Amino acid sequence: MTHSLATCRSDFPILAREAHPGVPLTFLDSGASSQKPESVIRAMDDYYRLHHANVHRGIHVLAEEATALYEGSRDSVQRFINAATRKEIIYTRNATEAINLVAYSWARANLKAGDRIVLTEMEHHANLVPWHILAGQIGVELDFVPVTDDGLLDLDAYARLLTREPKLVAFTHMSNVLGTINPVESLAAQAHAAGAKVLVDGAQSVPHLPVDVQTLGADFLAFSAHKMCGPTGIGVLWARQELLEAMPVFMGGGDMIRKVTLAGFKPNDLPYKFEAGTPAIAEGVGLGAAVDYLTGLGMEAVAAHERELITYALERLEEIPGVRVYGPPAERKGGVAAFTLEGVHPHDIAQVLDRDGVAVRAGHHCAQPLHERFDLAATARASFYLYNTRDDVDRLVVSLYRVKKLFA
């Protein structure tokens, strides 16, 4: 395996396949789910072939090996985001479950009818629906920070909403549609000054940017393995230890208990207090391998590569008559370009691009309120990652000209 961005594309077996006979694959849908390097695939395969057993419970050799691999991945994640202790790394199924864990455990224990939660118009549904459910069940009030025409949060409106003394502020670090990178440290400091806790949806940021939770300023951070070169089926909730200690359990069953009697139970220590049942062991091993792979490349280098790539992509896309790209300029966004082409539905764009082997996403990208804000039913979205190149951008542009010609 390489540890160079210049040659890392060869680490991803799927990128060598053809999309159709004689048509190479140009994968521009990493915002939905990234591809996996050989090291991650091999780590999970080796686990199943040589080390599989249930974790935390056995004293035989396989159980001890499996536990060491699984818990070793937690140590890797702790280092990756610079958490103060491994106890703060809670494994979930994905970022969505991590946010729901906060909504069901922390919020229901600490909020009451009439308390306010501040969200934004650019949120993924995963950071909207849990709070709508909470509002329907206990009567909390939801406020929303507007998005400006250039795809940024309206910070004046945010400051005004904070005067209403919300108990929680929850927002995305990086928009999965606009690519907007929000100023988390400033937003969190303002929220704390207003007496609110802060939850950050890091599903799009942790895979692409250096994230240090000890400087970020958040109280909760959610992210998923499958967007950061890891497998599906596992995600992470990071939270401050004192919050996790005080929060009630989320689900009940094996592994999250210390003692059970017919009269009741005592929950386990962190992080296992929130990890009921047999965990996604192979997926945990894969996440650890993914984190090690990204660490080897260096997240500063990954971010710089994507910044250069999105700058080039925006320049090329803006050359095409009728194309409109949404969101801020390259210096304010990550590697995401959501766009429309005049006179062509985004689904038609994606279908024609696929004939040329160019894989993009079309739809509302689980952000319907944001699309409504821009009076759009859908967009096409090209999302870039560490294995993409300028050649991929050029193939996208060539294919878009074919779309224009076909629908002219």
pLDDT, tens digit, for every residue of 126-171?
999 999 999 999 999 999 999 999 999 999 999 999 999 999 999 9
Compute the distance between CA of residue 91 and CA of residue 274 in angstroms, rounded to an integer. Answer: 8
Measure Cα distances from 55 to 224, 268, 389, 401 in Å: 21, 15, 40, 53
Strands 257-261 and 264-267: antiparallel
Q: How confident is the model at residue 254 (pLDDT cuts 50, 70, 90)?
A: confident
Q: Which of left, alpha, beta for 229 (phi over 0: left; psi -120 to 50: alpha)? A: left
Reply yes or no on whether the pLDDT at 45 is more than 90: yes
Does pLDDT of 1 surpass 90? no
For 8-28, write each residue's pLDDT tens digit: 999 999 999 999 999 999 999
Of 331, 287, 306, 313, the closest CA to residue 183 belongs to: 331
- Name the catalytic one among 1, 129, 366, 397: 366
Q: Is the pLDDT of residue 352 over 70?
A: yes
Q: Find the mean pLDDT for residues 175-204.
A: 98
Mean pLDDT within 43-47: 98
Q: Is 273 helix (H, G, I), strand (E, B) or coil?
A: helix
The three-state secondary structure class of 260 is strand
Residue 2: pLDDT band (50, 70, 90) is low
**pLDDT bucket at 211, cuts 50 / 70 / 90:** very high
Residue 16 CA to residue 47 CA, distance in Å, equals: 25
Give the whole-angstrom CA distance, residue 102 versus residue 382. Answer: 31
Domains and CATH numbers, the chain: 8-30+298-407 (3.90.1150.10), 42-295 (3.40.640.10)
* Residue 142 to residue 153: CA distance in whole angstroms: 17
Burial 240-262 (b: 16+ CB within 10 A, else e): beebbeebebbeeebbbbeeeee
Q: What is the pLDDT of residue 402?
A: 96
pLDDT bucket at 318, cuts 50 / 70 / 90: very high
Share of the chain above pLDDT 90, in %: 96
- Could you tell me which of 169, 211, 210 has the C-alpha nearest to residue 188? 169
CA distance 108 to 134: 8
Does the annotation mark 229 as catalytic?
no
- In whole angstroms, what is the distance from residue 113 CA to residue 96 CA? 24
Q: Is the pLDDT at 3 greater than 80, yes or no?
A: no
What average pLDDT does the chain have? 97
Residue 330 has pLDDT above 80, yes or no: yes
